A and B are shown apart, each in its own frame.
Chain A
Amino acid sequence: MEAFTSLASGLSVAIQPMNLLFALIGVLLGTAVGVLPGIGPALTVALLLPITFKLDPAGSIIMFAGIYYGGMYGGSTTAILINTPGESASMATALEGNLMAKAGRGGPALATSAIGSFVAGTIATLGLTLLAPYLVEVAVSFGPEDYFALMCVAFVTVSATFGDSPVRGLSSLFIGLLLGLVGIDILSGQSRLSFGIPELYDNIEVTTLAVGLFAVGEALYVASRRHIHEEKLEAVRGSLWMTKEDWKRSWKPWLRGTLYGFPIGALPAGGAEIPTFLSYATEKKLTKYPEDFGKGAIEGVAGPEAANNASAAGTLVPLLTLGLPTSATAAMMLAGFQQYGLNPGPLLFAEQPNLVWGLIASLFIANTMLLVLNLPLVGLWVKLLAIPQPWLYAGILVFATMGTIAANPSPVELIMLAVFGVLGFLMRRFDFPIAPVVVGLILGPIAESQLRRALSISLGDPMVLLQSPISATLLGIAVIALVLPFVLKGMGRFKAVED
């Protein structure tokens, strides 16, 4: 119960008018930058650090928390409305969310994402309050072999994004794996598939690939088919608000998404992308309306969005308890802490309880503020879709290129964006699924480096993968998830024969 009294005193810090103002500024700024792909919360916090130097620590850290959560809202808004994920973690949201928007259900999609984010953020922040010290023990005990096993689980679920042909889905995945090879191999320091181009040494940026494939590719595809198929975007069809049915279909995915997002986000190398994909795959499997997937299923938005937000709170677990920054934004928040002479880590809770609990409390407030701000805005956002099609797509392309050069002002990055755009166009034309490419780029390098680390530590003994209980369990899950559908199919056939 100590946690709750601390939290209450933290709330009294966060609720001071000045700090509320900082939270509001942060939330607004975060939403604004989240809209531009490439410019994420991390970059914003980095650039604001010198400006906030003069503010008091509590205020500026509260503002950073607002930017963090706000950035995620902004990223998913563009993912849903214009199929341009603002950051890689909103990619899964774009899959079904954009389809919903195109079918005139942008309102409910934005609403379920906003409410889901709120629910997940709140539960995860509660988890942070109560479980942080225990969770971090587990998180640190995750070794390279366990991460590799987790990647195996994630790989099995990729097939959920394959569409109707496994061969074409796998082809997409392997193109993603190929792109993941480009750049300097972190374990050996040698460059692969870089052809002496220094810009390629730094690996392919996930946002450049995602924006190229999704936004640019889509613009090219739609433009090329205008003469035969005038795409009619319906800004709103039916209710702008979530119906009773929508609520019924959303609440379970919200909770399941949180269950994926928070613990995986708390892992030092967990990240936000993997829980969003796990959540997407789970919802696709569990839904009562499988026919809706591929046409805009609300579960496919609710789950990943909740997972995304919950993982953001999860990232704070190792940051606050160990001083481990496990995401770019967390790293910048760490720099923010250090600027005021505070060292996040085992001693922070003891030395600076007001600040820590103030931060946790301000996360609650930022979350509430985002919900209050965003729900009334849903109507306004959806109006974006009513912009005449030429301007809408021209705007999308301008934002896509701007985000890319703002993050890295180099023509090579833009050339890559254009090439990925053409790739996205061709893949759409020949009916190859897009998402597995991005998944391959994200998962491939992690799986490879973690496996190699595990084998280096064990001096080449592969049994290390089975000796760790976590790894063995996860590998077991992966195998079951891989085999079970075939077994069930086989049994179904067997039964059919019996009958």
Chain B
Amino acid sequence: MTTSPKRRIDVAGLVIALILIGLAGLVWWDMTKLQILSPYDLGPKVMPIVVSVGLTLLAIGNGIGALRGDLPPRDSLDWKPIILILGGLACLIALVAVGGGFMIGTAILFATTSAAFGRRAFLTDLLIGAVIAVFIYLLFGKLLTLSLPAGPLEHLF
């Protein structure tokens, strides 16, 4: 009775189980702060209880799977493109938040994503992204009068 190398405990799987337990606890904690206001309503607590209990059971299920090493195999992972894409998204979010408008952010996101997929022409891509952003702004901001987040560049139009 030796454990075969395939049947190793999957650490990531255990982490997932722990996250699910954590979420279940969060939902439960949040539920305790609710009140039942109407005497006829089942109340806002029932559904959180169902979800919390369900998540707990699933955490156990996932945990058992992880201990058995039942998880499907995973490939190695290249972090660089992920950081590039999320970095581009973060730039866009930050620019929208501080009032820098969406055009610059959109151009950056386009260029970083493109770089994440292996392109090296960062400046060209920045330009392409900017052109797309201008096009979208004219179509939706001007034609349909949607309020897109505006910054210095948008005010030029």
Determine whether A and B are in direct contact in the complex, meaning some CB atoms lie less than 8 angstroms apart: yes
Interface string of A39-65 (1 = CB under 8 A from B): 100011001100000000000000000
Interface residues in B88-133 by Cβ distance below 8 A to A read: 88-90, 92-94, 96-97, 102, 106, 109-111, 113-119, 125, 128-129, 132-133
Provide the main secondary structure of the chain B interface: helix
Q: Give chain A residues whose Cβ lies under 8 Å from the Cβ of B97.
A: 411
| Residue among B23, B40, B71, B144 with the highest chain A CB neighbour number at 10 A | B144
Stretch at the interface among A104-112, A183-191, A246-254, A301-309: A183-191
Q: Give chain B residues whose Cβ lies under 8 Å from the Cβ of A444.
A: 47
Cα–Cα, bound, A48→B140 (Å): 12
The answer, among B74, B96, B148, for a CB contact under 8 Å with A414, is: B96
A170 and B58 contact, Cβ closer than 8 Å, known pairs A47-B144, A185-B44, A402-B102: yes
Interface residues in B8-55 by Cβ distance below 8 A to A read: 12-13, 16, 20, 23, 26-27, 30-31, 34-38, 40-44, 46-48, 50-51, 54-55
Question: Measured between C-beta atoms, what is the minimum distance from A456 to chain B in Å?
Answer: 5
Cα–Cα, bound, A415→B89 (Å): 8
Contact in complex: B74, A430 (CB < 8 Å):
yes
Asked whether A459 is an interface residue with its Cβ less than 8 Å from the other chain, the reply is yes
Asked whether A451 is an interface residue with its Cβ less than 8 Å from the other chain, the reply is yes
| Residue among B34, B93, B148 with the highest chain A CB neighbour number at 10 A | B93
Contact in complex: A171, B58 (CB < 8 Å):
yes
Asked whether B77 is an interface residue with its Cβ less than 8 Å from the other chain, the reply is yes
The answer, among B37, B54, B125, B147, for a CB contact under 8 Å with A174, is: B54
Asked whether A431 is an interface residue with its Cβ less than 8 Å from the other chain, the reply is yes
Question: Measured between C-beta atoms, what is the minimum distance from A256 to chain B in Å?
Answer: 31
Asked whether A226 is an interface residue with its Cβ less than 8 Å from the other chain, the reply is yes
Contact in complex: B30, A193 (CB < 8 Å):
yes
Contact in complex: A187, B41 (CB < 8 Å):
yes
| Residue among B13, B26, B38, B44 with the highest chain A CB neighbour number at 10 A | B44
The answer, among B16, B58, B145, for a CB contact under 8 Å with A430, is: B16
Interface string of A154-196 (1 = CB under 8 A from B): 0000000000010110110011011001000101111011000
Sample (26) of A-B pairs whose CB atoms are under 8 Å apart: A33-B144, A44-B144, A167-B58, A171-B62, A192-B44, A192-B48, A223-B85, A224-B79, A228-B76, A390-B117, A391-B119, A391-B128, A393-B114, A394-B113, A394-B129, A395-B110, A398-B132, A398-B133, A401-B89, A401-B106, A405-B149, A411-B93, A431-B72, A452-B43, A456-B40, A460-B40
- Contacts from B to A (Cβ < 8 Å): 12-13, 16, 20, 23, 26-27, 30-31, 34-38, 40-44, 46-48, 50-51, 54-55, 58, 61-62, 65, 71-72, 74-79, 81-82, 84-86, 88-90, 92-94, 96-97, 102, 106, 109-111, 113-119, 125, 128-129, 132-133, 136, 139-140, 144-149
